[in-house]
Amino acid sequence: MVNEYYSAYFCPMSRDALLKKRWDHLVEQLSAQFSDGEPLDLDAIIYLVGVQELGQIHRKFKKDEKINLMHIAICKLLEPYGYYSFDFVDEQGWPHYKNTEPLPALKAGEQAVLMKEAIVQYFLAQKLLD
């Protein structure tokens, strides 16, 4: 395990391979748990993070609430990178974040890599990914 971390830190190709391995494993785990094995896409996993962060897992959400859940997730996922910081929880229990640093101008593929990396780190930190 130490070698994986060492390689991931010092060798970009190894870091990408490790991220891909972890991402594929996470997608497999979440898909088995939430979609009967049908592979979840990036947006679906972001949505799940939002539901997890809100903590209201046993309710149905309206369309605008689903968008807000994805926003919560993106803020939470990018918080460790310094782009957002937690601000407060409103009276309905919804967390709010403030933008602390402008997001970088990334191409679509680069955005996806950043989000996948942030999601993997989130699940590792939550000890929900082995």
Q: How far apart are CA 70 and CA 128, in angstroms?
A: 19
Asked if the structure places residue 130 within a domain, the reply is no
pTM: 0.85
- Residue 100, in any domain of the structure: yes
Query: What's the chain's average pLDDT?
Result: 89
Q: In this model, does residue 103 exceed pLDDT 50?
A: yes
Contact 7, 18 (CB under 8 A): yes
* Dihedral angle of Cα 32, 34, 40, 46, to the nearest 10 degrees: -130
Q: Which domain holds residue 25?
A: 2-125
Count of the separate structural domains present in the chain: 1
Helices 108-125, 63-78: crossing angle, 10 deg rounding: 80
Task: Give the mean pLDDT of 57-64.
Answer: 91
The DSSP bridge pattern shows strands 95-99 and 84-89 to be antiparallel
